[in-house]
Amino acid sequence: MPAFSLDPDHTAWCAELRALAGERLRPLAEKSEPGHVNRPLVAELGRLGLLDRLFGSGALDLCLMRESLARTCTEAETALALQGLGAHPVHAHGTPAQRDRWLPAVREGTAIAAFALTEPGAGSDAAALSLTAAPDGPAGWRLTGGKCWISNAPEADFYTVFARTTPGAGARGVTAFLVPADRPGLTGTALDMLSPHPIGALDFDAVPVTADDVLGEPDRGFRVAMGTLNLFRPSVGAFAVGMAQAALDATLEHTARREAFGGPLRDRQTVAHQVAEMALRTEAARLMVYAAATAYDDGAADVPKRAAMAKLLATETAQYVVDRAVQLHGARALRRGHLLEHLYREVRAPRVYEGASEIQREIIAKELYREAQ
């Protein structure tokens, strides 16, 4: 499929997703309690069959779901994405027993997943992580340390946890574990963030894990993390594109209606040209997201570079577009509860998580020099 256009089935599906988000998901999202997982919302995502499509349907499907939901209901979008981020390592690297235990419940929205990579001392430099997996008997470890800024923590039902099995080995000494939330020694606290979804810190006090809990192979967990991020980075871009489009839609409507100085705002050339610029940049970001997702689905060699480019361009673009939209709406956009006030809070964090914009540039440059060798 060409990267620059969607086929009619995809276009119709996106329209259907936007309608479902408005009719079935937004009413549930409006009942969200700040800092808590909205379980009825996740269960509805399951009933609608959307969580099912997270696994094995490809990156373009994931991006179209995220873009379409974000345009109408960012809470539903994020709840969907977090199920995917937390459970993708189980889908891609889990044993049959791990997959059977968790994936049906994730798909139906009755088990909440989370992806626990970041630590107080290891954010952008994820390979510096120090959550210790100390040997405990012939086929076990004890996890000791902390994770922070983990979406869905501490209310998730299981965590994909990245821990250090070989000290001093950097990225080569990390193992991915599937840790159910009820393991003894695992506790957590919620963190109050600008970003409107539940986030917390986790504390591991000699939490027991065995070979049955390993995702993939011991000491090969960093690949599990990076493989997951290569799939999810373009989709963070899709989330951003959906938010940018929502801000643009609102701005088109508002500037056509709002009268000032004897006519609608849209008759001012500086206003109309800003709207054109917002649309131009949103469309460019969208095309780059679709191209990166298509490259992932085709198994292209340059996925890390394209994924980084898509995430970088789309998240920076969305910040610009939402900021412009706020400006063109004036004071009303800053009133609590306004769509743009919500988007203004939502749009900031994606420039930091799953690799800050500076880290995406690092990846792009590294890949460019590697290709040039």
Ligand X SMILES: Cc1cc2nc3c(=O)[nH]c(=O)nc-3n(C[C@H](O)[C@H](O)[C@H](O)COP(=O)(O)OP(=O)(O)OC[C@H]3O[C@@H](n4cnc5c(N)ncnc54)[C@H](O)[C@@H]3O)c2cc1C
What's the chain's Rg over C-alpha atoms?
Answer: 21
Q: Does the footprint of ligand X cover residue 321 (CB under 6 A)?
A: no
Based on CB atoms, which residue is closest to ligand X, 274 or 360? 360
Shortest spacing between CB 120 and ligand X, in angstroms: 8
Q: Which of 118, 160, 165, 360 binds ligand X (CB under 6 A)?
A: 118
List all residues 6 or more positions away from 128 whose beta carbon is below 8 Å from its beta carbon. Answer: 121, 122, 170
Based on CB atoms, which residue is closest to ligand X, 297 or 316? 316
Shortest spacing between CB 85 and ligand X, in angstroms: 6
DSSP strands (E only) in 165-301: 174-180, 186-191, 199-210, 214-215, 259-260, 263-264
Q: Does the footprint of ligand X cover residue 141 (CB under 6 A)?
A: no
The 3-state DSSP class for residue 91 equals helix
Q: Which of 41, 117, 229, 310 binds ligand X (CB under 6 A)?
A: 117
Q: Does the footprint of ligand X cover residue 274 (CB under 6 A)?
A: no
| Neighbour tally for 301: CB within 10 Å | 11
**Which residue, among 219, 231, 240, 200, has the nearest Cα to 112 in the 3D structure?**
200
Q: Which of 29, 106, 199, 215 binds ligand X (CB under 6 A)?
A: 199
Q: Does the footprint of ligand X cover residue 204 (CB under 6 A)?
A: no
Q: Does the footprint of ligand X cover residue 353 (CB under 6 A)?
A: yes
Contact region with ligand X (CB under 6 A), list: 115-123, 255-263, 313-321, 323-331: 115-123
Q: Which two tokens mark 28?
A: 């549930």
Active-site residue, from 77, 119, 346, 354: 354
User: Which H or E run contains 147?
Assistant: strand 140-151
Based on CB atoms, which residue is closest to ligand X, 39 or 266? 39
Based on CB atoms, which residue is closest to ligand X, 43 or 352? 352
- Between the CA of residue 294 and those of 98, 128, 153, 285, 367, what are the distances in Å? 29, 32, 31, 14, 19
Q: Does the footprint of ligand X cover residue 195 (CB under 6 A)?
A: yes
Contact region with ligand X (CB under 6 A), list: 19-27, 59-67, 145-153, 307-315: 145-153
Active site residue 354: yes
Number of H helices, E strands in the chain: 11, 10
Which residues does the annotation mark as catalytic? 354
Residues that bind ligand X (CB under 6 A): 115-118, 123-124, 149-151, 193, 195, 199, 349, 352-354, 356, 358, 362
